[in-house]
Amino acid sequence: MIDNDVDLLIAGSGGGGLATALFASSFGLKVMICEKSRYVGGTTAISGGSAWAIATVQEEQAGLQDSIETGRRYLDAMGEGHGSGEMQDAFLEAAPAAFAFLQHQTDVTFTAPRIHPDYYPHLPGTTTGGRNLGPDTLDGRRLGSLINLVRPPRPEFTGPFGMAVARSEISDLVRPWRSIRAFRLATRAVLGHAWALLFHRRAMRLLMGNALIGRLLLSLAARGVTPALETSVARLWVENGQIAGAVLRTKTGEKHVRARQGVVLATGGFAANADMRQSMLGSLQTDHFVTFEGAAGDGIVLARAVGAGLAGGSASAGLWMPASILRRQGKRDITFPHLRDRAKPGLIAVGSDGRRFVNEANSYHDVCLAMFRSKKHGETVEAHLICDHAFIREFGLGLIRPFWSRLRPFIASGYLAKGRTLAELARKIGVDPEGLQATVARHNADAVSGTDTEFAKGGSALNRLNGDERFKPNPCLAPIGKAPFYAVRVVPALLATARGLATDTEARVLDQNRRPIKGLYAVGNDMASVFDGHYPGPGATIGPAIAFAWRAACHAAKRDVATDRAAQNGIVRETEHHGL
């Protein structure tokens, strides 16, 4: 018995799933979004929410120049000729149209930052800003009761009492007395949050991933679509050799939904599934992930059951983030992503020999790959971030907030190690004391001259963006000077998976013989990364998730992917179509 009949059935309500639903419903398709958990948003909701895209209208609005040709040059150089050419071309073609449509036709608006370099700023075709589109902040009141559906940010990413804090605001909020502007910003933020707690019992200023999911929800609601929560796609339903719908698992039992144009898998990849990590990550293994725990690989399992093939991840099957782990008695461990403290002046990362192995200010993905490379077979893949007391107070370290955090509980839990001397610290963390002392001596001499003679920390615009410009001559270097000294252990954790379902350029899932499985699409992390395990710039998973959501929706609705000016302004041509 068929319980429901739609055009497109979408499994998963993260960035990939909601964007597909928004595009498809805008094209007139009847869509249904199934979400397994009790919240909308998946990992996207707890992420930075930024989307890497090239030659967008948002870049144009910011007065920045970019072009598809420049972008292609950058991607070609990054992949050293091993990239997936036609998939990257499909991304380059679709992204400008998709982001123009969002900007002009929906509430899902973004702003391109003038300064935010790609992750390989030395390569041809790179830009120093503009490609990392940030979702505009959303006033939660616009969502009405829908706000309660949005997966809340992780508490460790918010300020006191759950206050939402943007990266650019942190230094002003921590030291409100340093300027009138800082004082005004801090006062407004604190009073606004207190007001929200009083009247709404939650933060009402949605930032980053929460803003992106909130904006997608808002735009979908305007088109009469809200996701079905606690409803998972349990089995795909095949009829006459094509996907005709799916069996859903709901609180009230199984439901059969026919999907005339197909099913879109957008369940977020497999980072949280231990068996799949083991079988799919190849030589770069980990037990750790910073995604939300529902990234269990459902989409891949569902598609494999109907003959789908896998692809991607030649450079790396995972996309990586250095993370520290706080063990808590009787509670779940916290795995914390080290996004920016690594670049700050006065911090180094060392291995068990006490030596540095990487430019700490490079991208999180590259720092982890260097961590893997620096280990001999069988050695635990880990590193230690080393700094002094002044550093922790100024910048914080991982879960330890700058300025006000009490250090004693972190030391007691084993998260933070403390030494009165570098040798004592080294012994406590199992690192070679002489190696560490020699490393710090060299680093300190380099900090004075301003040139990191080992790894050129602070040598690129990307490094300097996350440094601190008050430190001269190099914003990423300062001596590790006065005792006591501290260390936090970091491990490579998955922030996303790059290996996934093989698809064609329209996001149609391919079988083992590389033929499209009719009626089956994959987007987001369920689809093999178009960058093949490279990480070109900030937003490199959400950008393609949105670009291929656009392509999947265009294909299902028989629309042209349309990259001409009309499409950039959100006017989509009605006539052309691809045929299934």
List residues near ligand FAD by CB under 6 A: 11-17, 34-37, 42-44, 46-50, 232-233, 266-269, 290-291, 294-295, 298, 337, 495-496, 524-525, 539-542, 545
Q: How many CB atoms lie within 10 A of CB 328?
A: 11
State the minimum distance, in angstroms, from the CB of residue 127 to ligand FAD. Answer: 17
Q: Is the CB of 54 or the CB of 350 nearer to ligand FAD?
A: 54
Q: Is the CB of 385 or the CB of 501 nearer to ligand FAD?
A: 501
Structure tokens given for 195:
């007001």
| Alpha carbon distance 117, 186 (integer Å) | 28
Q: Assign residue 295 a region (left: φ > 0; alpha: ψ between -120 and 50; beta: otherwise).
A: beta
**Is 408 buried (19+), middle (13-18) or exposed (0-12) by CB count in 10 A?**
exposed
Q: Is the CB of 46 or the CB of 218 nearer to ligand FAD?
A: 46
Q: Which helix (H) or strand (E) segment is 256 a member of? A: strand 253-265
Structure tokens given for 104:
């002009």
State the minimum distance, in angstroms, from the CB of residue 565 to ligand FAD. Answer: 27
State the minimum distance, in angstroms, from the CB of residue 151 to ligand FAD. Answer: 7
Q: Beta 485-497 vs 383-388: how paired, if at all?
A: antiparallel
The 8-class DSSP code of residue 430 comes to: T
Q: Is the CB of 172 or the CB of 298 nearer to ligand FAD?
A: 298
State the minimum distance, in angstroms, from the CB of residue 13 to ligand FAD. Answer: 5
Pair 257, 231: CB distance under 8 Å: no
Q: Is the CB of 62 or the CB of 456 nearer to ligand FAD?
A: 62
The dihedral formed by the CA atoms of 93, 95, 97 and 101, expressed in degrees to the nearest 10: 170
Q: How many CB atoms lie within 10 A of CB 49?
A: 25
Pair 290, 493: CB distance under 8 Å: yes
Provide the residue type at 517 as one letter. I
Dump strand ranges (E) for 480-576. Answer: 485-497, 500-501, 508-510, 516-522
State the minimum distance, in angstroms, from the CB of residue 124 to ligand FAD. Answer: 23
| Alpha carbon distance 394, 313 (integer Å) | 38
Structure tokens given for 256:
């059969």
Q: Is the CB of 228 or the CB of 407 nearer to ligand FAD?
A: 228
State the minimum distance, in angstroms, from the CB of residue 107 to ligand FAD. Answer: 18
State the minimum distance, in angstroms, from the CB of residue 377 to ligand FAD. Answer: 29
Q: Is the CB of 276 or the CB of 542 nearer to ligand FAD?
A: 542
Q: Is the CB of 16 or the CB of 313 nearer to ligand FAD?
A: 16
Pair 516, 307: CB distance under 8 Å: no
Q: Peptide bond before 473: cis, by omega within 30 degrees of 0? A: yes
Q: Is the CB of 247 or the CB of 456 nearer to ligand FAD?
A: 247
Q: Write the CB contacts of 85 (distance below 8 Å, at least 6 apart in sequence).
A: none
Question: Residue of minimal CB distance from ligand FAD?
Answer: 14
State the minimum distance, in angstroms, from the CB of residue 310 to ligand FAD. Answer: 16
Pair 120, 126: CB distance under 8 Å: yes
Structure tokens given for 521:
């699409």
Q: Is the CB of 34 or the CB of 55 nearer to ligand FAD?
A: 34
State the minimum distance, in angstroms, from the CB of residue 78 to ligand FAD. Answer: 16
Rounded CA Rg of the chain: 24
State the minimum distance, in angstroms, from the CB of residue 34 to ligand FAD. Answer: 4
Q: Is the CB of 243 or the CB of 386 nearer to ligand FAD?
A: 243
| Alpha carbon distance 36, 542 (integer Å) | 20
State the minimum distance, in angstroms, from the CB of residue 213 to ligand FAD. Answer: 8
